[in-house]
Structure 1
């Protein structure tokens, strides 16, 4: 019975591949990866900066996609966990001088650990109440960052965060410059995407989809739905914390603005606009929506108006995001084969 639920609840974008046994995403992904590796040869610093920001936001978007796209829980808390990860990494780097990889891992672990006691009561709520509760996490996080001055320096923020520093035995080096940081972010984003892919393709991933489709039925066939939701909530928070760590080391400054609601809405737009429940859709959404906001900076007076009209067009013409369009693209490749 459990297997029947799992088979019937596969994401629509995955069905064409499953039907033929041919998965064109891997070779296509490898081709895009090769193109990304040589991108600095053709792009200037500003386009690379836009891609870096998009790849940083891809991490919390992946986490939100696991929670909302695959488990069916809409959360606005990603900005809170993004900020916690940024501050964790910044505090370790500024006060203890620890290398980047330790700060990065600590940001994910601390954020995931903080998410556990927050998720235990929140996940017992339903729909709208859960969304409002996660919004409260963002407000509380920003208030703590503003008022715990002895730790966070309040509105002055933490400045002078060092660029990523690696100490490997006698060898050590610092990632400085846009190109170097681009490659670091690209590697981390690729590893995060691989991790999400493995989670989704595992039996746990199929159980997550079953919970999304019908939680009551999933529970009736023996899936511990509440425990799954708590673990996914923690993993989602950890991904946001990792993104916050990268963000802090890239900008070299963090402030209470890191907790702003704008970041949560950006991550939500990436997931819903790209295609909730699809990995390729979230990657596309991150590059499109974050890249679009950066590109529109050339017209600051019209930037938000143009962005708003773009979102309205998305809602009317692509109500399910770009996932169906991407699915048709995979089907086209399949037929060409």
Structure 2
């Protein structure tokens, strides 16, 4: 290839940068061109993108199918809500505590669970969700049972003399967008690191990975905890946005939604999780005002996935991205 052809090829690839900037600008301008309800749907999609990122680390990059995300999502929501209601702590303390609480609880749960294989591990993680919901319903002195926690304050920041509260749909959208971008960057850094390559090696062939010196069980435990941390942070945002948390936060519907986001978007891809969150959560939430159309659209998306996009939408997104990058 001549120097001229190399230069032209580099110029074609540079087209992705302005496109990325345009997408970022579109995200930033969304509250000014979309209705309040559409912005609400985007917020819900951004919230569920966080536990989906964590689940993608497990399913897509390490090869572990887990149904426990709703449990850690609920733990994060309750931890953040309890701190805010009881002690009036600022949001950044609550969201950090939510992630740490979910990760800390994942440690003793993961130690025995990760010694199980395939179906047994999946059933064990399902048990975590059932136990979490039972505790939330019956530990009334802490969780208030079926009444749940109410009047959870909106995110409050206290930075020295500067303090402010994030109130209103538009303000919360920018908060969720900021947290979502930071979480996406964190996942990108993890999967591009040597640890990420070891995770992929475990997914492809755990026995071979262990034979070349990769501590597979330790990696799986760390990824399990990281997945819980992402879910806990998402639960914190959920609690402060809706200002109420109940045992329904632990329902299996949330775990299956997160799994559909990962598998439908494209397991093992970051772009797939982002797109899957917008499609399977944002779109269906926006169509909630028309229940019949909402379920029909959701079902059609699943049918399209099963018959035409068995690896999710990520391969299509990547091919489109590559074609844009190589456009003259």
- 1:211 Cα deviation from its structure 2 partner: 0.5
Contact 1:24 1:330 in 2 (8 A): no
In the other structure, the counterpart of 1:7 is none
Mapped to 1, the partners of 2:298 and 2:183 lie a distance apart of 28
Flag the 1:254–1:290 CA change in 2: closer, same or farther, 3 A.
same
Question: Which of 254, 258, 267 is 1:276 aligned to?
Answer: 267
Q: Secondary structure at the match of 2:299?
A: helix
In the other structure, the counterpart of 1:3 is none
- 1:24 Cα deviation from its structure 2 partner: 6.7
Q: Secondary structure at the match of 2:291?
A: coil
Flag the 1:232–1:43 CA change in 2: closer, same or farther, 3 A.
same
Matched, 1:187 2:178: yes
- 1:259 Cα deviation from its structure 2 partner: 0.3
- 1:22 Cα deviation from its structure 2 partner: 5.4
In the other structure, the counterpart of 2:313 is 322
- 1:113 Cα deviation from its structure 2 partner: 0.5
Q: Secondary structure at the match of 1:166?
A: strand
Query: Superposed, which structure 2 residues align to 1:160-175 within 5 Å?
Result: 160-175=151-166
Contact 2:13 2:326 in 1 (8 A): no
TM-score (norm 1): 0.91
In the other structure, the counterpart of 1:81 is 72
Matched, 1:307 2:298: yes
Question: Which of 259, 283, 286 is 2:277 aligned to?
Answer: 286
Question: Which of 76, 87, 93 is 1:96 aligned to?
Answer: 87
Mapped to 2, the partners of 1:159 and 1:185 lie a distance apart of 21
- 1:43 Cα deviation from its structure 2 partner: 1.0
State the aligned residue count.
Answer: 319
Matched, 1:53 2:44: yes
Q: Which string of whole-angstrom CA distances, capped at 9 and with x for unpartnered residues, describes residues 199-258 of structure 1?
A: 010000011001100111111111110000000000000000000000000000000000
Matched, 1:240 2:224: no
Mapped to 2, the partners of 1:205 and 1:278 lie a distance apart of 12
Q: Secondary structure at the match of 1:73?
A: coil
In the other structure, the counterpart of 1:266 is 257
Contact 2:133 2:251 in 1 (8 A): yes
Mapped to 2, the partners of 1:25 and 1:236 lie a distance apart of 30
Mapped to 1, the partners of 2:202 and 2:49 lie a distance apart of 24
- 1:27 Cα deviation from its structure 2 partner: 5.0
- 1:23 Cα deviation from its structure 2 partner: 8.0
Q: Secondary structure at the match of 2:163?
A: strand
Deviation above 6 Å: which 4+ runs of structure 1?
A: none
Question: Which of 230, 239, 242 is 1:251 aligned to?
Answer: 242
- 1:103 Cα deviation from its structure 2 partner: 0.3
- 1:170 Cα deviation from its structure 2 partner: 1.2
Q: Secondary structure at the match of 2:89?
A: coil
Q: CA RMSD in A?
A: 1.7
In the other structure, the counterpart of 1:112 is 103
In the other structure, the counterpart of 2:191 is 200
Question: Which of 11, 14, 24 is 1:33 aligned to?
Answer: 24
Mapped to 1, the partners of 2:195 and 2:123 lie a distance apart of 27
Flag the 1:22–1:199 CA change in 2: closer, same or farther, 3 A.
farther
In the other structure, the counterpart of 2:4 is none
Q: Which string of whole-angstrom CA distances, capped at 9 and with x for unpartnered residues, describes residues 57-87 of structure 1?
A: 0000000001100000010000000000000
